[in-house]
């Protein structure tokens, strides 16, 4: 496989063939020069979790809807971020809940109540 290092100011592209090869190798052997680990948190703190999750929530449920659900509840439980919206006590409606693996940022659950 070709190296990703660059020695000149000219930017070159590796191309789709390289990308496909890298994908296949990575799917076959997850230990290949990988910072993602079962023991290391890629998303270690709640502010980073929110920065990763909000764009997903905004795209699916709308920015205005999600912003109204601030402040968020955020809990790191057994390497998973469980984040949900809140509503003022006198409001009627549901909130989002999203669960993300803090080790690799994979969303494993996304829902919104009514």
pLDDT surpasses 70 at 7: no
Q: What is the DSSP string of 61-110?
A: H-HHHHHTTPSPEEEEETTEEEEE----TT--S--EEEEEETTT--EEEE
pLDDT surpasses 60 at 5: no
Beta-strand pair 96-101/73-77: unpaired
Distance CA 88, CA 75 (A): 20
Distance CA 12, CA 5 (A): 10
Dump pLDDT digits (tens) for 29-41.
Answer: 877 777 777 788 9
Dump pLDDT digits (tens) for 83-109.
Answer: 999 998 888 889 999 999 999 999 999
Give SS3 for 98: strand
Structural contact between residues 47 and 77, judged by C-beta atoms closer than 8 angstroms: no
Dump pLDDT digits (tens) for 20-67.
Answer: 998 899 889 877 777 777 788 999 999 999 999 999 999 999 999 999
Structural contact between residues 84 and 46, judged by C-beta atoms closer than 8 angstroms: no
pLDDT score for 6? 52
């Amino acid at each position: 496989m070709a190296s990703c290092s660059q020695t000149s100011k000219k930017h070159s592209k590796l191309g789709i063939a390289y990308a496909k090869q890298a994908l296949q190798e990575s799917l076959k052997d997850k230990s290949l020069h990988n910072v993602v680990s079962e023991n290391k948190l890629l998303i270690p703190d709640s502010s980073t979790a929110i920065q990763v999750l909000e764009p997903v929530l905004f795209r699916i449920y709308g920015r205005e809807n999600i912003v109204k659900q601030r402040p968020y509840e955020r809990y790191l439980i057994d390497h998973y971020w469980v984040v949900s919206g809140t509503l003022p006590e006198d409001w009627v409606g549901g909130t989002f809940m999203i669960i993300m693996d803090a080790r690799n940022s994979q969303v494993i659950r996304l829902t919104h109540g009514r």
